[in-house]
Structure 1
């Protein structure tokens, strides 16, 4: 009825109905209190022995005689007067902690505190908001009672975690004030905020949802147990199959999977690369670089490993046996165009013709083979035929290239890189025949060649020095 009358008079959206009715109820209670104080009480605030039977003349058009008689009967009832007396005593306690934020209100005070903090904070704890509403202009607490409550709040905040506060009874301010929270409002946050708004209830799962969750957990546990058994049986089968396949490789005449490094042919030769986990399978074709005293990216090769370069990828997403953490090279696909370390027992030396499968239109191993859209997993590097002497290069470049190619085991003194370029205090790069060949032959550049060039560019930029790195 009240909401319909309000809509007839004012243009108010339905979303504001709850708030408007709250304000209307508060105004109605204030009006009833005003009528009782002015027409049912004397100057001392005591109820009259013979209250008026008729409503006041100024409100006669609004209040009927029947409504007035019921109002007077309720106000003159002793039980109502006793409840009213208790409420007055309770309201008088509010002067113990006087509010000093004037007409600003808790909502505007909270916005002001958030703005001053200048951070991503979206709300202020209730105890801090309550305290700031009771300080002077200098931000100091003058009332001793307020100071005692604030000291309790600081002590409780050290032992109570914000996630443990689920309702008004567990709130820090309620425990510090030692006063129960009344329904319909929340102390210290302003008008219109209810307990459900400030302390939203946590969703409680029904018994059906609980039983469904338990059933899902049990089902997952059973599936995990079955998967563990299957993996264990596959590992046992894989170990036996791997042993048979490795023995077959050893007995074949095309190559060897487990021969020592000193039995590999010296120099560069074609090879097949395998992995043993989860199953023994071919993952790539490449080149074995069996050079005495060889290093990998400036470091010594691990025991039982050789230096290889990957040309053709069979399984691009398989992880490398030893990932290159410095260059963030983790998979076979990412290792194309650089050198990696490969276990000796998972490498098979092969003929050059067996490295790349024959395709239509490809007659030479050095031809450029672009990956097709239907078969992107296999990638082939473009190779450029190398010559001993190039006429368009200076003589010293040709002599240096020829010297290092004829004596592949030799290398130039290591180049010390400046500190901080790659985040290392000490970093050296070794220039050998392969590095020189990559530059002179315009081939694919390895990590060492790129690192040396980066150091060269930084030297020019910072020191203006045209330093020759070879």
Structure 2
């Protein structure tokens, strides 16, 4: 059985990777360039190993993350890139049969069991997204800013000509240009940029464990800070330094007994809780349940954990109530569009609430379409919290954070889409930014006197 313990260090910069106008850092472009070259080489190596009836072993840490496994991670990427076309905009929209092919190909070359399938597929989705960004920044246009017609030589083993043609067309569209501009602005506002590169949180943790001893436990707040140091191990970003100092202060309070032993120090230092399904400061492949489930070995819960459980229960209750109401309305043949009173034909007298009139805290809400009909496209919960952010980034101007729970119009485009979420249906169970003037506070109410079928459309004209 072969071993995957190859170094993840990136070789010196290749002149061919130089990109004169790239929102992504030069280091990230070099990493992706190296990933492609290395991935193709590893594919040949894995094929030979598999032909000899062998598989390559993979090491995992206590959190279930692959460590010292550069070949494994690179192979996942190259399999995903050769299996899924670059024209696929979202990994969520890739059909299950294709995902199964990715999993079967990877598992046939490495010693991994079915429990690692989610890890492999999620990693494949990330690799595809990074690949699309890399192509857009590095190869889409020539030095004269003209779109490249033929597949570049480096990409020919991975990309078909017909897929390249379709990809170029999609990058010419106005919708893509607007989305790209929005994402650039949001990324530029990131106050706490990650700086550990290809190493990842798992790699940062492994280095610390090897330096201090195998029995050492590295807290996630420490990992978060270590992943934002420069090459000399120094925090030179003022905003990161401010949070690191808060972390030190809170850690001292815990050690002195002023705070509960299992207080969420990172969340308190940043001033914002983790988003559902994500755990900051631990890296890829670790869920909230996995991480916090391993440290809750005590007779009493901390205040932050109790609050977290209450919030999760409230979201579940709201989702069940909203779904029950909508099902009831559908069974009665009613259209869920007349909510909390009538919406006027012009939209001028609609029941939308300005952002400064939305009650502070968490409330039921309806999200309206940005068109004259002002129809309700989703229901959920609105969070009017001072200094709130969305996925650790500032909210867009005149927007508010909303958790979408029920999709009334799943195909309605999100006001601020991302690579993974482009429609209301994609964003169910997630937080999104929604224009404040298009958020209606309250829960759905069926109309008192349902109109006959022929007249239902008249109220929307």
Fold conserved between structures, TM > 0.5: no
Higher Cα radius of gyration: 1
Give the number of the structure with larger relative contact order, counting CA–CA contacts within 8 Å between residues 6 or more apart.
2
TM-score, with length taken from structure 1: 0.32
